[in-house]
Structure 1
């Protein structure tokens, strides 16, 4: 075995051990310039406390060499903490206009891209025998209405006969009580009353039948008129044709598509906000968006879902955006920012962020007596000027240079600078 590779491996291992296990001692040595002091620190149990390393081996009356750091006076500012998400544009309306009956198309087609108004004819179908059916239904209605007065007259005639029979019965009854009329006359009068009552009931039934006939005929006319209306297929709202209308001579069955219409003014921006941010979104909130082509949009939140998507656990947000010139198309990708309540935050250099032993993101600050403290922070925005963070007090002295060489509880010699 060659001795040189073995010696090289031993030296590399020793160097790595010193760099990893004795990092704080080496740091104290580099900052204080006292190599003997750093060696003493390393020999006295391998302590990793920079404050202990800085004071170990010195006489009690010797001045302690403090680690120098640069700190920044930072004052919290109010910043807009917009909710950021990605989404896409969607037509506010899109519908496939379909036929309600079967017939041949008898009109020339309208080409895709054509602007149409609400109620404009899109397809007209061959009426066939529908006009004859309508005329027949109207004739039946006229006959039914004509039978009504005759039935009404019969009812009045029957009621008059009943009234006359009741009068005769009353006279016969009084004469019989006085002994001037025989029982047979009274019985005959009573029979006449019953016959008249039966005639009234029959007349009423005839009148009701005539009225039912009128209603049936009216229903037949309404059905025939509706069938006539179905031969004309119209636009339900103003918009653009996304497809050609049905070709001349083609057969449309019930449910077949005549045309597809979309409405793009206003247009919707649709995005999905995570559940951690949904409480910051409110109806009517101002919204800005940037399309993939660079166009910038402005709108307001018109809908916020109350039910999360079961797959992504996000909530749908709809934003209405004016689009009078129809330049915004359906299906374009957009980056959306929804205005939320402002928050107090500090603007710090990104390099000031560090991690503690538990892996929490934060900054090291200079506290009372120039003692270092670690404060966890939340990152809310990243800009070219730095990062905006929350979690600090209204004012804080944040270490921006040297924070990696000190730990919580160490006394330092700070040099302060104002925030840019």
Structure 2
């Protein structure tokens, strides 16, 4: 019985060894794969062909055709308020208005701080009185000028008459001299009257300047918002003494808001003014390359500024993107992942699993040619998506090994099985 058990074990072992080591020939033997006739087949050639086919590594291949896609410059930046201003006092006075709290929305021209008028109203009334007084002097000065002009005309008439009478021997030289002196005196009176009129007019201008200065001083007592926005700080507290230059409050404008990033010099040529851009705040969830489900919270805008001068330290160029923010949900200083559209490129969409490394550590894919010989092609990764990765550096049409590429090297022949794109 023991000998029988040993013999049975040997037979089973031999059968398993034959099944594992020479399975194709065993299958062909039992399936009757000996249908070739003696006249048309050479047994030795069949054995060689079967052995060669059995030794080839089987791989799965996908045919890929390059497609034109939009490329983008990927940057990391931050949001920045369109405008930020510290509103300060232009005169010294005490605050008489209750403060507005930080976060309050204010409109253009809205009062932020009201200062005590003090004696400024009295100074304005005095300046206006001086203006009225100066204006009252003008008619008097004009009357004096007209009177002086009339006296000058009369003196000239008397001078003319004296000269003619003296020429005819009817008047003495003394009379002529007196008429000449009267003309000179009248001319001096005219000049004096004109100077008085000019002084009256200058007095009006000086009084007007005084009124304008007093009115401006009173206007400075009301500190208003230069533009619409949000208060970033409380306004000055009631009773606070503000000096010229003291802070009343800080206003920040968030609509529209800017996205600011710095472009390396290797990428700056791909960006142009007006280019479309899409960004995602880091706090907003998945990255931009995370697929269609990430588009709900994307913000879009266009490039409004591209610096012509590089930062001397980083050798990068500042780029600004304007984004609408009517609901003020985007805050100043948030980190943002930005994609700026650039000129399109030709790329292949392949499964990420198709990527591999050669012996030098170069990223690429393995393909087969018409003779099923494996080739290695370095590639550049453009972007990834839920459907795969977009790669450049390949021919327009290639047969890429998507399964089994890690078990073959360039130059060997394989047994390919083609797979459709939808599989």
Provide TM-score, normalisation by structure 2: 0.74
Which residue in the other structure is 2:284 paired with?
293
How many residue pairs match? The answer is 355
Which residue in the other structure is 1:210 paired with?
200
Post-superposition shift, 1:164?
A: 2.3
Q: Name stretches of at least 5 consecutive residues in structure 2 with no aligned partner.
A: 1-47, 286-296
Give, in whole Å, the separation in 1 of the partners of 2:329 and 2:95. 33
**SS at 1:300 equivalent:** strand
Give, in whole Å, the separation in 2 of the partners of 1:161 and 1:370. 124
Q: Measured at CA, do residues 198 and 404 of structure 1 come closer, stay the same or move farther in structure 2, by a change above 3 Å?
A: farther
Which residue in the other structure is 1:186 paired with?
176
Which residue in the other structure is 2:135 paired with?
145
Which residue in the other structure is 2:309 paired with?
307
Give, in whole Å, the separation in 1 of the partners of 2:167 and 2:60. 133
Matching residue within 92, 98, 106 for 2:82: 92
Post-superposition shift, 1:76?
A: 1.3
Give, in whole Å, the separation in 2 of the partners of 1:280 and 1:373. 33
Q: Measured at CA, do residues 234 and 402 of structure 1 come closer, stay the same or move farther in structure 2, by a change above 3 Å?
A: closer
Give, in whole Å, the separation in 2 of the partners of 1:293 and 1:402. 38
Q: Measured at CA, do residues 296 and 339 of structure 1 come closer, stay the same or move farther in structure 2, by a change above 3 Å?
A: same
Q: Measured at CA, do residues 369 and 385 of structure 1 come closer, stay the same or move farther in structure 2, by a change above 3 Å?
A: same
Post-superposition shift, 1:405?
A: 5.3
Give, in whole Å, the separation in 1 of the partners of 2:162 and 2:392. 110
**SS at 1:145 equivalent:** helix
Kindly report which structure 2 residues correspond to 1:1-400, keeping only aligned pairs within 5 A, or say none. Answer: 72-291=62-281, 292-294=283-285, 295-350=297-352, 351-352=354-355, 354=357, 377-398=379-400
Give, in whole Å, the separation in 1 of the partners of 2:134 and 2:171. 48
Give, in whole Å, the separation in 2 of the partners of 1:355 and 1:139. 95
Post-superposition shift, 1:217?
A: 0.9
Q: CA RMSD in A?
A: 3.1
Q: 1:105·1:252 contact (CA, 8 Å) conserved in 2?
A: yes
Post-superposition shift, 1:129?
A: 1.1
Give, in whole Å, the separation in 1 of the partners of 2:415 and 2:186. 121
Larger CA deviation: 73-82 vs 366-375: 366-375
Q: 1:74·1:418 contact (CA, 8 Å) conserved in 2?
A: no
Q: Measured at CA, do residues 348 and 201 of structure 1 come closer, stay the same or move farther in structure 2, by a change above 3 Å?
A: same
Post-superposition shift, 1:196?
A: 1.7
Q: 2:89·2:223 contact (CA, 8 Å) conserved in 1?
A: yes
Give, in whole Å, the separation in 1 of the partners of 2:362 and 2:199. 88
Give, in whole Å, the separation in 2 of the partners of 1:177 and 1:374. 129
Q: Measured at CA, do residues 362 and 311 of structure 1 come closer, stay the same or move farther in structure 2, by a change above 3 Å?
A: same
**SS at 2:342 equivalent:** coil
Post-superposition shift, 1:73?
A: 3.0
Q: Can you list the C-alpha shifts for 1:268-290, whole angstroms capped at 9, x where unaligned?
A: 22222222222222333322222
Q: Can you list the C-alpha shifts for 1:260-305, whole angstroms capped at 9, x where unaligned?
A: 2222222222222222222222333322222213332222222222
Q: Measured at CA, do residues 344 and 206 of structure 1 come closer, stay the same or move farther in structure 2, by a change above 3 Å?
A: same
Q: 1:267·1:323 contact (CA, 8 Å) conserved in 2?
A: yes
Give, in whole Å, the separation in 1 of the partners of 2:307 and 2:166. 88
Give, in whole Å, the separation in 2 of the partners of 1:102 and 1:354. 73
Post-superposition shift, 1:251?
A: 1.0
Post-superposition shift, 1:191?
A: 2.1
Q: Name stretches of at least 5 consecutive residues in structure 1 with no aligned partner.
A: 1-61
Post-superposition shift, 1:404?
A: 8.5
Q: 1:356·1:374 contact (CA, 8 Å) conserved in 2?
A: no
Post-superposition shift, 1:226?
A: 0.8
Q: Measured at CA, do residues 179 and 340 of structure 1 come closer, stay the same or move farther in structure 2, by a change above 3 Å?
A: same
Post-superposition shift, 1:77?
A: 0.5
Provide TM-score, normalisation by structure 1: 0.74
